Structure 1
Amino acid sequence: MSDASFDRVVLVTGAGSGIGAALARRIATPRVALMLHARGADTASRERLEQVAATCASSGAMCSTVYGDLAERGAPEHAVHQTLAQFGALDQIVANAGHAQRQSLGSLDVESLTESFAAMPAAFAALVKRAASALETSKRARVVAVSSFVAHRYRADSPFAATAAAKAALESLVKTAAAELAPHGVTVNCVAPGYTRKDRGPSANNAAAWTRAAEATPLGQIAEPNDIAALIAFLLSDEARHITGQVIHIDGGLTLG
């Protein structure tokens, strides 16, 4: 299929729930093509992504889905390849897939650290490298990665040893990519959310934990996925064409000071 039918083709990883799903629904308009990715480890995961795709299609977007664990060798490249094969172009990437694992340095093992780096910074690098030629020829090329406040706020009572290290590495790679792709007009940025409400999983209904998170946030509330999606959508827009190499915190003041 030719890219002539679309104003932009966007690959969103981790689009089955939370921020990724909220972003997909927000930018789903006619003349936008979306390749929505999820790990797809079980039937429920695939059903969630297909529902997001159906909602986006009802808004007029052209949608397709791709599955794979981005921590596995070749999976990020496969997602890009499928996008190019389906739509004939790739203008924008949102690297949203990832996880937060509460873990102290004392309990950190090599396997956890390796998996976190494979799933986040290594996957990001693989996505950008595979898509570079397509991005460099696009007139609306944008890359946005999703980091986390845990890369900036360290507390002994709330440790995220592997995740924080992986997200910090992700932010560094974003700046490297921004510098290298700037001559081609490609912007590369990172958003670092604070506590953000989930829409699935056991923690989604853990009222006590969310109350503590809100109390720790200066604005006194936690973010909704749509709050983060709105910032990402702006960074993908033409209005953000002069913003690159930035890590933008959207955390209600959690990382003040």
Structure 2
Amino acid sequence: MPSRPRTILVTGAATGIGAACCRALAGPGTAILVHTRRNTEGAERTAGAVREAGGLAEVALGDIGDAETPAALVAQAVARFGGLDVVVANAGFADRTPVADLTDAGFAKSMDTVLWAFLRLARAALPLLAAGEAPRLVAISSFVAHVFRTDATLFPATAAAKAGVEALVRSLAVEAAKSGTTVNAVAPGFTQKDAGGHTALSPAQWDAVRARIPLGRLGTPEDVARAVAYLASPGAAYVTGQVLHVNGGLV
């Protein structure tokens, strides 16, 4: 019998994909550190869902873009639950500011919140994951690092940051392989927001988006979470250095 629960850290888990990942990973014998920057209400709701599924849960606050936060989250997971087995790096935001209007500070914010945060999280977590059970590091990337069309909305800063995450995933997969830790990414396509959440496009723009998706619908956070759950599972032991696209066949 394991001496402690399978311990999972999910960043940006108050709503959306992060919350869905917590729900998909929850169950008896699991413990999840539910991170949010400041949405305590949402994070507590996610933690409640984890507990209802039979798992343990605790909420952690912090701005993932701050240099000290990633390591602090890792330390909190270990201190609370006794180890670390899975990290899901989900926290981030989308910025569609055109390059001509993008300031140095704006670009740096995307780098800090997405790319630098993932680097710092991986650097802190990998030594502990190496001692974990079926250790997994999963990053959430995005279609915006792959779709560049004149009829598509562009997210230059986000695309650069997410592309960097994917490159880092591949390097980390090689470095971490000797410990049995797998490192992968999931790249969601257009995904529905939670009810009441901010939307970057108008209804007409969303209709145009659906027309480009062969499956004819937007993805759901649960669609993405199922892919994350697979990559985080013991069954994905021979999958590493990959980017799994969950986008309905987006073209």
TM-score bin (small chain): over 0.9
Q: Could you tell me which residue of structure 1 aligns to residue 107 of structure 2? A: 113
How high is the TM-score relative to the length of structure 2?
0.95
Structure 2 Cα separation of the partners of residues 207 and 61 of structure 1 = 38
1:16 aligned to which of 7, 14, 17: 14
Partner of 2:197: 201
Q: Is the 8 A contact 1:175 1:246 kept in 2?
A: yes
Paired residues for 1:167-246 under 5 Å: 167-199=162-194, 200-203=196-199, 207-246=203-242
**Could you tell me which residue of structure 2 aligns to residue 79 of structure 1?**
73
**Correspondence 1:249 to 2:249:** no
In the other structure, the counterpart of 1:89 is: 83
Aligned mates of 2:219, 2:232 — CA distance in 1: 20
Q: Which residue of 1 aligns with 2:27?
A: 29
1:63 is paired with a residue whose SS is: strand
SS in 1 for 2:101: coil
Contact 1:197 1:204 in 2 (8 A): no
Q: Which amino acid aligns with 1:193?
A: P
Report if aligned partners of 1:195, 1:223 keep a CA contact under 8 Å in 2. Answer: yes
Q: Which runs of 5+ in 1 are unaligned?
A: none
Q: Decide whether the 8 Å contact of 2:67 with 2:120 is kept in 1.
A: no
Distance apart, 1:206 and its partner CA:
5.2
- Cα pair distance change 1:242/1:121, threshold 3 Å: same
Q: Which of 137, 143, 148 is matched with 2:137 structurally? A: 143
Q: Deviations over 1:121-168 (max 9, x none)?
A: 111111111112211111310010000011011134512110000000
1:59 positional shift: 1.3
Q: Which residue of 2 aligns with 1:104?
A: 98
Matched, 1:66 2:27: no
Distance in 2 (CA, whole Å) between partners of 1:5 and 1:73 is 29
C-alpha distance in 1 between matches for 2:33 and 2:133: 19
Q: Secondary structure at the match of 1:145?
A: strand
**Partner of residue 4, structure 1:** 3
Alignment size in residue pairs: 248
2:3 maps to amino acid: A
Give 1:60 deviation, angstroms. Answer: 0.9
Amino acid of the residue matched to residue 46 of structure 1?
Answer: T
**Equivalent AA in structure 1 for residue 104 of structure 2:** V
Question: Shift of residue 216 of structure 1?
Answer: 2.2
Query: Which whole-Å deviations, capped at 9, do the CAs of 1:196-235 have from their partners, x for residues lacking one?
Result: 0000423299543432221222221110110010000000
Where in structure 1 do 4 or more consecutive aligned residues deviate above 6 Å?
none
Distance 2:162 2:76 in 1: 26
Please list every run of 5 or more consecutive structure 2 residues that lacks an aligned counterpart in the other structure: none
| CA deviation after TM superposition for structure 1 residue 247, in Å | 0.9
RMSD: 1.5
Which secondary structure does the structure 2 equivalent of 1:188 belong to?
Answer: strand
User: Normalising by the residue count of structure 1, what TM-score does the alignment of the two structures yield?
Assistant: 0.92
- Is this contact kept in 1: 2:4–2:81, CA < 8 A? no
Measure, in 1, the Cα distance between the counterparts of 2:87 and 2:15. 17
